[in-house]
Amino acid sequence: MAPVTQVSFILILILLSLPPVSPGTLKRRVLGKAAKLESQGNDCSQIWTDNPKSPSGVYVIRPEGTPDAFRAYCDMGEDGGWTVFQRRTGGNGKPLAFDRVWWEYDYGFGDVEGEHWLGLSKLYFLTHQPGTRAQLKLDLHNFENESRHALYDSFQISDKSSFYTLKLGRYSGNAGDSFGGENWRGAASQVGSAFSTLDRDHDSCNPCISGDIAFNECSQQKGGAGWWFSDCGVANLHGDWHPEGDHKIWSSDIHWGTWSPTESLKATEMKVKTVVIAATEA
């Protein structure tokens, strides 16, 4: 046998020994490649800084250190550049459920154009970009069509191994500092609390007493919410969404206790903005 024929013969033997590739596998491989998202910037703040005329909407971002780019809603008003990581609106009568387990809060759920939670794993990278300081803003709306906000001038969550512990800077705004507790009825601050879900209890109730009820897990008491519960604290934007008329006197509702202690909120947004750190601050 000539050398060329020998090589061809060996190649045919190798090809025959490979496992068959089904059309479905081929299709998945092609789709997998096509679905790879092209990033438009590190986050909404960078996109807005580069072009302040960028409209609000969905963009593909990739914060430094993130393994893959992902879609996020950018709030690009006059004070733009906010990456929205939570939105609740009641979903036109079909509210998105927020009683979810750890991996769902870690990965994210919902639709970034509507109700959603972007995911702790993404929020970690959004708040840990080198050379920047992240800020947090909460926009809150009640059933009387009033709106208020809370702003924190620095915001970080720790990594997954320490359960995404909440770190916040100075508060300003007109909704009150519910994260900080403001000594509200003796409630403890949620700053410094790890994130808890229905299946992961990292709160400080071991147990907590409320009236004649003793309980160990705030998430179970508060609508199955994933949140930075302390004892449990007075903020919980992940409780049950209630329609108008059924929105009063629930302890498991959507609440920001320093503004609306007894009425569930109608709509909320949580968003993060990064600002470049001045040389003196670094």
Stretch that binds Ca ion, among 14-22, 96-104, 160-168, 208-216 (CB under 5 A): 208-216
By CB under 5 A, residue 199 contacts Ca ion = no
Residue 27 CB, nearest distance to Ca ion (Å)? 47
d(CA 20, CA 34): 23
Site for Ca ion in 211-250 (CB under 5 A): 216
Residue 225 CB, nearest distance to Ca ion (Å)? 14
Residue of 115, 203, 231, 269 that binds Ca ion (CB under 5 A): 203
Residue 217 CB, nearest distance to Ca ion (Å)? 5
Burial 51-85 (b: 16+ CB within 10 A, else e): eeebeeeebebbbeebeebbebbbbbeeebbbbbb
Stretch that binds Ca ion, among 18-26, 117-125, 195-203, 259-267 (CB under 5 A): 195-203
Q: x/- site string to Ca ion, residues 54 to 73, per CB under 5 A?
A: --------------------
Closer of 25 and 206 to Ca ion (Cβ)? 206
Residue 196 CB, nearest distance to Ca ion (Å)? 7
Residue 238 CB, nearest distance to Ca ion (Å)? 17
Interface with Ca ion by CB under 5 A: which residues? 201, 203, 205-206, 216
